[in-house]
Amino acid sequence: MPDRSWRSYSLWGAGRVRVVRLIDKYRTSLREQVPSVQAPSATTHEAIAELEAGKGKRCASVAALLSELKSDEADRNRNRG
């Protein structure tokens, strides 16, 4: 039986070279697409603290969640004006 190990090595090597080239090609564009990580804002910290204190709300359905969000938004708009 002939030794075919050189073929699998060269195919593996060719595949590896291709993958490395693709990574190099798209590395820059991926960095541009992914925003840099930022520290959470004060509002986010307040929301996390509220949830950890057990003051979070639960909704039975998506429709109930949307209704709750709309009523909260309406309350905020009334307080502004």
In this prediction the pTM is: 0.38
18-69 per-position pLDDT tens digit: 888 888 777 766 666 666 667 889 999 999 999 999 998 888 999 999 999 9
57 closest CA partner among 41, 68, 67: 68
Tokens 């057990």 appear where?
54
